[in-house]
Amino acid sequence: MRYVCLVLLLAAPVVASEPLREIRYRTSADNSKQPAMFYSPQSDTPVPLLVALHTWSGNYKQTYHAACAKWCQENGWAYIHPDFRGPNKRPQATGSDLVVKDIISAVDYAKANAKIDPARIYLVGTSGGGYTALLMAGRAPEIWAGVSAWVPISDLRAWHAQCKKAGRKYHTDIAASCGGPPGTSTAVDGEYTKRSPLTFLSRAKGLALDINAGIHDGHKGSVPISHSLLAFNEVAAARHRIREADIRHFVDKQAVPPALVKPIEDATYGRKRPLFRRTSGKARVTIFEGGHELVAPAALAWLEKQRRTAPATQPPTPTTGVRLFILSGQSNMAGLDPNVSFTPTVKKAYAREEVIVVKDAQGGRPIVRWYTGNPKNPGPLYVRMMKNVRKATAGKKIKSVVFVWMQGESDAIGKGGTAAAYEKNLKGLIQQLRDDLKRPDTHVVIGRICDWRKTDGVRIVRKAQVDVAEADPLVACVDTDSVDRPKGNVHYTKKGYAQMGKLFADKAIELLKPSTPARPVRPVVPPPPPKPRTDAQRAAGKLKMAKAYLNSGRTDKGLALLAEIIKTFPDTNAARHAKQELKKLRSSP
């Protein structure tokens, strides 16, 4: 991308200080040491901190925000410019969870190595840095006194299409980061959702947020200004949102719609004068005369005015509504006693709120006993579970719902269903529960089955559980491989079930934290009811089972199944094979 940075430094006193220097800090993302450029003034009193984010193809050594760094040095602010996994062209970068934790850890480093005023921690970014600034506004709104995002990307799926149509290389970077172009798979589509600021920006309502775009960007630059306008709409009150028709006019005509033209006086933009501005609460969007660029004085002047309100020192007043946790699945959920570790953990986290835990599980059952593919005729175990849920919550207002699911072993070994159908059935079950509870914001914790057998069925179900979680921002998968269990056994020890309950509770609490997306994901369309199996398919299945009996020495059962196939399905290939098997058995000594 080509960038222009308008540098008009604001007059301010010079403060004696250390120079900008390269440092390495430990990140909570993976305990690695990550690089950054850091500056801290010599001060006996707490100072503001500015976190600057590099552009799409840059890294921590990039000097695009040099004007901001210099301004901080002259005005006695601390400054940090982290790497957050470098250019946005691989899965570890581009809005990943690693990126989010790297930036939060950079703030923690600055606070540990300088006297930082917690009410004056600011964020600024341009282009790819503006994209990440918007993402951080939604993922960690509690940190920032103000976020200033310039010419940002807000929707990766849309930008991929726009770059591909315009012949810009960035669509290949996005695909490399997300695992492929949109539509490749549900897992890939989930990456586009998880890495796009629009998914999380509803969490930034109430945050001081400054979004800016040059009117000619997308024509003389790489990011259409619709990204900035749509980002503003996510945090704005309904009456302040910008209409779709007006957004199209902005983009297509490179001009403000006539009905929205108003004079704006803001000298901090210099020659890049504001053409349009809309404010809603603490958020504002400005379209200025320019392209794909940062106007540093305008960003700094706005940030300097912002303050974060200190949190209340008293415990919060209890909120209305109960926290509902539904635990279900087969034998490994049946073996988990929630009173040992799960319930105490969630009750401690929500000590001032009412917590209801409903567990309903039954061993040895495939997922079709919960989800049949027909929401009007759900499986008997789902009906039983919902009966218990309604009984426990009768007359109560529900504040949040977490569904904890530990099941899949039966499907992995082909009992009552197939591993291949597990992903669509699990998605259907989640959607069915959300619909029945009328809670599209229901969070889900999936316990991934252990790899007690090295078979295709186990591998397929384990992968399906991870893919479902990756495709839905309200779903998380918990790995149970490290949970204590006898070697080669599918079930866990008493100690293991206690560990599992704690893992499930911790993940449920993490999902309910404000930094996770509250915006409901697009409903997953439940899969159509499975087609009834044909006689040929049923006969083939019985033939496979008969051979397994014969090979394991259980001859009587094998012979009985062969005879049943010949009698019940006489016109199938399986019947012909069954006759051949009987002939071989009779001719053998």
| 28: CATH | 3.40.50.1820
In the structure, what pLDDT confidence band is assigned to residue 536 with cuts at 50, 70 and 90?
Answer: confident
Mean pLDDT score of the chain: 89
Amino acid 143: pLDDT: 96
Q: What share of the chain is helix, strand, coil (3-state, %, to 5)?
A: 40, 15, 40
Whether 529 has a pLDDT exceeding 80, the answer reads: no
Residue-wise pLDDT tens digits, 12-56: 343 444 689 999 999 999 999 999 999 999 999 999 999 999 999
Angstrom distance (rounded) from CA 302 to CA 544: 72
Specify whether 121 is located in the same domain as 206: yes
337 located within any domain: yes
508 and 540 co-located in one domain? no
Cα–Cα dist 372/376, whole Å: 9
pLDDT score for 5? 44
Predicted confidence band at 515 (pLDDT cuts at 50, 70, 90)? very low
> Does residue 114 sit in the same domain as residue 18?
yes
CB 431 within 8 A of CB 524: yes
Residue 522 has pLDDT above 50, yes or no: no
pLDDT tens digits along 267-312: 999 999 999 999 999 999 999 999 999 999 999 999 999 999 754 3
User: Does the structure show a pLDDT above 90 at 155?
Assistant: yes
Structure tokens at 206: 């109430």
Query: In terms of domains, do 14 and 42 share one?
Result: yes
What distance in Å separates the CA atoms of residue 421 and residue 38, rounded to the nearest whole number? 52
What is the share, in percent, of the chain residues with pLDDT greater than 90? 72
Residue 219: inside a domain, yes or no? Answer: no
Give the range of the structural domain holding residue 94, as residue numbers without chain letter. 4-155+196-211+293-304
Residue 4 has pLDDT above 90, yes or no: no
Residue 270 lies in a domain: no
pLDDT over 60 at 559, yes or no: yes
Co-location of 556 and 412 in the same domain: no
CATH number at residue 551: 1.20.58
Q: Are residues 441 and 569 in the same domain?
A: no
Per residue in 122-150, pLDDT tens? 999 999 999 999 999 999 999 999 999 99
Residue 277 located in a structural domain: no
Assign 473 a pLDDT band (cuts: 50, 70, 90).
Answer: confident
Please report whether residue 54 resides in a domain.
yes
Both 351 and 431 in a single domain? yes
Same domain (yes/no): 545, 505 = no
- Pick the last residue of a domain from 481, 512, 543: 512
Res 447 pLDDT > 80? yes
Angle between helix 555-568 and helix 535-551 axes, rounded to 10 deg: 160
Please tell me the distance from the alpha carbon of residue 385 to that of residue 45, in angstroms, as a whole number: 58
Instruction: Please give the pLDDT value at position 2.
Output: 43
Of 571, 473, 563, the C-alpha closest to 515 is: 473
Percent of the chain with pLDDT over 70: 91
CA dihedral 193, 196, 200, 205 (to 10 degrees): -150
In a domain, 344, yes or no: yes
Per DSSP, the three-state class of 104 is helix
For the chain, the domain total comes to: 3
| Residue with the larger pLDDT of the pair 384 and 568 | 384
Rounded Cα–Cα distance for residues 506 and 508 (Å): 5
Rounded CA-CA distance 275/387 in Å is: 58
Is residue 354 included in any domain, yes or no? yes
Partnered with residue 25 across adjacent β-strands are: 34
User: Per the domain annotation, does 316 fall within a domain?
Assistant: no
Q: Which helix (H) or strand (E) holds 106?
A: helix 97-113
Task: Quote the pTM value.
Answer: 0.56
Higher pLDDT pick, 156 / 416: 156
Both tokens of 242, joined, read 């910008």
Assess whether 553 and 485 both reside in one domain: no
Residues 477 and 582 reside in one and the same domain: no
Identify the CA nearest to 546 among candidates 527, 561, 528, 564. 561
pLDDT given for residue 527 in this prediction: 52
Task: Check pLDDT > 70 for residue 181.
Answer: yes
Same domain, 562 and 465: no
> What is the average per-residue pLDDT within 424-444?
93
Q: How far is CA 542 from the centre of its chain?
A: 43
Asked if residue 476 and residue 552 are part of one domain, the reply reads no
Residues with Cβ within 8 Å of 27's Cβ and at least 6 positions away in sequence, in order, are 33, 34, 98, 101, 102, 105, 106
CATH number reported for the structural domain that contains residue 344 in this entry: 3.40.50.1110
Residue 478 in this model has a pLDDT that exceeds 70: yes
